[in-house]
Structure 1
Amino acid sequence: MSYALSFLDKSPIDGTERAAQALQRTLTLVKRAEELGYRRFWVAEHHNTSKLASSSPEVLIGFLLARTNRISIGSGGVMLQHYSAYKVAENFNLLSALAPGRVDLGVGKAPGGLPLSTRALQGTLDPARKPSFETQLTELDGFLHHEKTIDADADSLAAFPVPDQPPGRFLLGASPESGRLAARLGWQFVYAGHIHGDDDAIEQSLAAYREAGGSSALLAVSVVTAQTASLAESLLGDTRRFRLEIKGGQGVNVGSREQALEYVRQAGATDYHIEERSPRLIRGTPVDVHAELQRLHGKFGVDEFVIDCPVSDGAHRLKTIELLANARSAIAA
């Protein structure tokens, strides 16, 4: 079997449990993923939601790195539009200096929340001076390179410390434009199939990435698996995704039509369009899941899959990590 498995965790708060319990479970998941040979474990960034405990991936990454030994840990991803590229580079250079070769910087274009939290995060920024996402990412890329800054003069700007191994660089996206941007900067591209998983959309974005000179692409997919196909089906909730386009504003992906309308309300928008999208949801037994991953590997040339489990129950997400790893070993044998 010629593809690697990685895992994305959003630290969901299940029912009435406390945030501390959700975060402790994330630690349990990463330790088990490391034991079972997963390549990466990523944590997400979401704002102003009581259902997810991961609002600051940099802080959580440091906590997880200190309690694991080998697995790469990173952000899936940092929502760059809210922050100084310089500060993001400092954060991830420091993490990389603490855990050489184990830190991934994944960056996303989405806001990670609705307009209310975006305004709170960007309240001190002058909108007229706010750079484009491409400009920010290019600036961030520059701060992650130190070849010309170590012996530079006092007037130059560098993001210290200088790690022995820089963080891995990944751009998360679901469009040909994102693929081309990743390739131009020499970043790895992660297609967000768990948000927009149409075969044609995946093919167009990965083709754009490779035609622009990109080499290493990953595919994020949602997986619901269990010992039987019927049990996997019974675990499915509402897995729909919606794309909201506001005239003159940034397009965003949300989990329900109600969230899209709330986004419109908070933004004060009147001219908008909501489109339902099809996430790449793979369901069934572990053997079924691996059969589909193998098909996607062959069709799109993807050598690594980032697994997102949309079920909030922590025991099931742990079981997902175990079932996929064990089935992989059994198939290989």
Structure 2
Amino acid sequence: MSIRPQDLPELRAALLDWTRRHGSDYFKSCVQDGAQRLFFPADPQTAGHWFANTDADRLAKADLYWVSAEMTELCVAAAKSMPEWELAPEDVPSQQGFILFEGLASLRPDYPSTAFSWGPCPRLAAQATLKGGAGLWLSAYTDVAAAYELAGVALDSMRVPMAPLMYAGESLAAYGHREAGDVSINTVDGDEVVSDDDELLTSRVGSLALIKTAWLLLQQGLVDVSELQPDRATVKRLRRAGHAEDLTATRVIDLRHRTTGTGASADREFRHQWIVKGHWRQQWYPSREVHRPVWTAPHVKGPEGAPLIGGEKVYAWKR
């Protein structure tokens, strides 16, 4: 499924409509089948209503984000070496958000999710899993057609029509300093993981690690963020469908290209070029009194035209 930035308002509307109409039954079935983790004692019907209502609320209030394929590739690569850091509300770009990563499925074969929504962790779930503290809830969604094709099930055989995306799990993360085991309860990535900074989860680019990386990169100068308003035809369709409140601009996140090369220091003379690999460094933010990882992109150092030392793969970053 190929989704353009201008498609995101209608995609969100379709997913929201489906969740409001069919979500309770879907989550009830998942609970009954043992496919949906419960965060508090509840019968399947009550739990189904709770999951559907809280997810619909996040989607309805979400700001929209669309990440280009090139930026998605950078997020996945950078997430593999992202250092540990403590998530705070100030690190989240919107209180609620819905984000789609173009081309994510091919870069992260272990996990099928391609889109995510987030918002404050609901009180009942926070009490049970985050010791009652404030935190983040991250819902993951996967391409319905791809998921059913993988399972060998025909979409037209379903009794209930499906939205283009389907709910695929969730991640919870507490804000601030936590003891080991309190960082996250993660079900979107397969086996339960109790820490979002766990080495396996980071190296395999789990969904929470991917989102945290994207949020860090959003704050840096190597990212271009533009806003795309829904076109006239989209506005008319959304209004006819009763989604006048969903006429939200989509923030398009793309990689900013360099226009000048990275030269050597002016007071030193070099006779070769060499590769500087992409890496993270910790930067101090005095206004918040916190350290946060900052990504340094791969680039070539040294005088232009000089021989290149090493035969590794080089990514050309142009400004």
Classify the TM-score, shorter chain: under 0.3
Q: What TM-score results when the alignment is normalised by the length of structure 2?
A: 0.25
Structure number having the greater helix percentage: 1
